[in-house]
Structure 1
Amino acid sequence: MYHFTALVTCLAILFYFFTSIQVSKARAAFGIKVPATSGNPDFERMFRVQMNTLEWMPIFLPSLWLFAVYISDAVAAGLGVVWIAGRILYLIGYSEAAAKRGRGFGIQASAAIILWVGALGAIAWRLIHG
């Protein structure tokens, strides 16, 4: 069973839901009517946090699960927590200024890349040595 990875998956989805709520709040605060996605820099940065998170989910989630299956549930979950922490730092930094998003982005990208490379390596290893 992959209880830790399942829990981290739920936390990642919760974080994405949180970013959706933040965009809704920003729309109301800055008077940005649907379907507009521009008009106020503060809104636009929050919108990009949500969209960038969405853009990374198809990279992160399969990599997380493949790593859990082929290597370790606990290690995958730990890296998943690092990914979420990076996304949180990205949100905090980017909501202040675009120039402050780099550290969080780097952390989450590194975690996702480690998960993907680890999963790919483990799959290849099993194919060759299986």
Structure 2
Amino acid sequence: MYRLTALVTLLAIAFYFFTCINVSRSRTKTGVKVPATSGHPDFECAFRIQMNTLEWMPIFLPALWLFAIYVGDAVAAGIGAVWIIGRIVYFIGYSQAAAKRGPGFMIQGIAAIALWAGALGAVLRLV
């Protein structure tokens, strides 16, 4: 069973859902109408946070699950939790100023690379 990895997956999805709601709130607050994706700096930051999170999900989720399967559930979930923390730090930083997004991006990037590299290493050892 991979209960911890499943929990981290659900938390990552919940965070992404939160970013979607944040974009919707930002549209209302700034008056940026659908289908526009630009027009107000605050909206554009909220939109980029959501899109960047979406761009990383296909990297993070398969790596998370492959790591869990080939290395271990608890370790995968721990690294996955670090990824989510990185996304939260990214969200907070980018919401304040685009230049403050770096630390969160670095945290989540390192976590994703660790999952991918760990899964790759484990798979290659099995071949």
Q: What is the TM-score of this pair, normalised by structure 1? A: 0.97
Task: Give 1:34-53 correspondences, 5 Å limit.
Answer: 34-53=34-53
Deviation at 1:126, TM superposition (A): 0.6
- The aligned residue for residue 96 of structure 2 is 96
SS at match of 1:79: helix
Match in the other structure for 2:4: 4
Percent identity of equivalent pairs: 71
The CA deviation string for residues 14-68 of structure 1, in whole angstroms up to 9 with x for no partner, is 0000000000000000000000010111110110000000000000000000000
- Matches of residues 21-40 of structure 1 in structure 2 within 5 Å? 21-40=21-40
Post-superposition shift, 1:118? 0.2
Taking the aligned partners of 1:60 and 1:92, their CA distance within structure 2 comes to 20
1:126 paired residue number? 126
Q: How many residues are treated as equivalent by the alignment?
A: 127
Matching residue's letter, 2:118 = G
Deviations 1:90-125 (A, max 9, x none): 000001111000000000000000000000000000
The runs of 4+ residues in structure 1 deviating greater than 2 Å are none
- The match for 2:105 is 105
TM-score, structure 2 normalization? 0.99
Structure 2 CA distance, aligned partners of 1:82 and 1:89?
A: 10
Q: Which amino acid aligns with 1:48?
A: R
Q: Which runs of 5+ in 2 are unaligned?
A: none
| 1:54 counterpart residue number | 54
Letter of the aligned partner of 2:72 in structure 1? S
2:70 matches 1:70: yes
In structure 1, list runs of 5 or more residues that go unmatched: none
SS of residue in 1 equivalent to 2:121: helix
